[in-house]
């Protein structure tokens, strides 16, 4: 089983005729994702991806004509918040926003609107999600995956790829891999995804990839201690970051003693989560927990 995306996902791509949107939509289509529509205002009636996908002027039109139930946003930062709001207003229940550089104040407004409407947002500034063998939404390379029992949730796109590749090379497959994004205001938290994995009977173990800044990993650890009984492994990026220097994602802000790699590691280990010293160490921690043989 998988979470968030699968063979039943009917994907709409906002910005499908732009350079990034077209490139990654083509990769998603080649992977087997069911892309049923694209949206670019002013280009309704055209077709994208060599005529394979109809393009509409609005999300509402696309949903009405194709039954799309998820959207992936490849729209420039100045227009992405409105694109996400349009997806929600048009009847989409699951939105992936790949766009980076969106001001936090704009996303704060979007966050509250979507929460009130019951719409799930993944991102912004995220790589998306892949359920191996079923569907991939976003920019995660499809060829690094293999189907299996381990769910992965991460704040970092590149570390997601590195850990997934290490797992695949070790013969450990994945149920779903989710990149939640590294901005200060994101739609879906570690806890949200951990809860989905915890409820998925075919996800036998979970990998959490965090980084310095914020308190999301500490909050996730507290949730795991209360609710999760599945084996877990983790990695925290940024242990060697110079003190006082802002690095990486916009969310990687350390305040006082909170948000450091050490505080996160301490919280995770206290919750019974094994913490790797490097991404390549994750497969061994999973094997030690009896996952993957």
Catalytic positions, written as ranges: 249
As a whole number of angstroms, the distance between CA 206 and CA 175 comes to: 10
Rg (CA), the chain: 19
- Helix or strand holding residue 63 (H, E): helix 59-66
CB-CB contact of 25 with 38 (8 Å): yes
Burial of 256 (0-12, 13-18, 19+ CB in 10 A): exposed
Q: What is the 3-state secondary structure (H, E, C) of 155-203?
A: CCHHHHHHHHHHHHHCCCCEEEEEECCCCCCCCCCHHHHHHHHHHCCCC
CB-CB contact of 229 with 271 (8 Å): no
As a whole number of angstroms, the distance between CA 247 and CA 224 comes to: 27
Q: Which two tokens stand for residue 12?
A: 């709409």
Q: Which two tokens stand for residue 134?
A: 């079923």
Burial of 90 (0-12, 13-18, 19+ CB in 10 A): buried
CB neighbourhood size of 262 (10 A)? 11
């Amino acid at each position: 089983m998988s979470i968030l995306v699968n063979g039943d996902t009917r994907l709409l791509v906002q910005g499908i005729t732009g350079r990034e949107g077209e490139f990654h939509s083509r990769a998603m289509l080649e992977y087997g994702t069911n892309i049923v529509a694209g949206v670019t205002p002013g280009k309704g009636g055209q077709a994208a991806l060599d005529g394979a996908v109809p393009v509409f002027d609005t999300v509402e039109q696309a949903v009405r004509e194709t039954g799309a139930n998820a959207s992936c946003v490849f729209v420039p930062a100045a227009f992405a918040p409105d694109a996400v709001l349009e997806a929600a207003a048009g009847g989409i229940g699951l939105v992936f926003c790949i766009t980076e550089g969106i001001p936090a104040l704009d996303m704060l407004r979007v966050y509250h609107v979507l929460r009130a409407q019951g719409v799930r947002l993944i991102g912004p500034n995220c790589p998306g999600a892949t359920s191996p063998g079923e569907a991939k939404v976003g920019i995660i390379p499809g060829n690094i995956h293999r189907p299996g029992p381990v769910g992965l949730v991460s704040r970092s796109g590149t570390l997601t790829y590195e850990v997934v590749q290490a797992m695949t090379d070790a013969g450990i497959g994945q149920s779903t891999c989710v990149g939640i994004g590294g901005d200060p205001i994101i739609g879906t938290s570690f806890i949200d995804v951990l809860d989905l994995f915890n409820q998925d009977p075919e996800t036998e173990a979970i990998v959490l990839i965090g980084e310095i800044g914020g308190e999301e990993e500490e909050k996730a650890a507290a949730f795991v201690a209360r609710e999760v009984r599945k084996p877990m492994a983790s990695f925290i990026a940024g242990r060697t970051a110079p003190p006082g220097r802002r690095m990486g994602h916009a969310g990687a802000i350390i305040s006082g003693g909170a948000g450091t790699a050490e505080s996160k590691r301490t919280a995770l280990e206290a919750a019974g989560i094994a913490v790797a010293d490097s991404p390549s160490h994750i497969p061994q921690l999973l094997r030690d927990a009896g996952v993957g043989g």
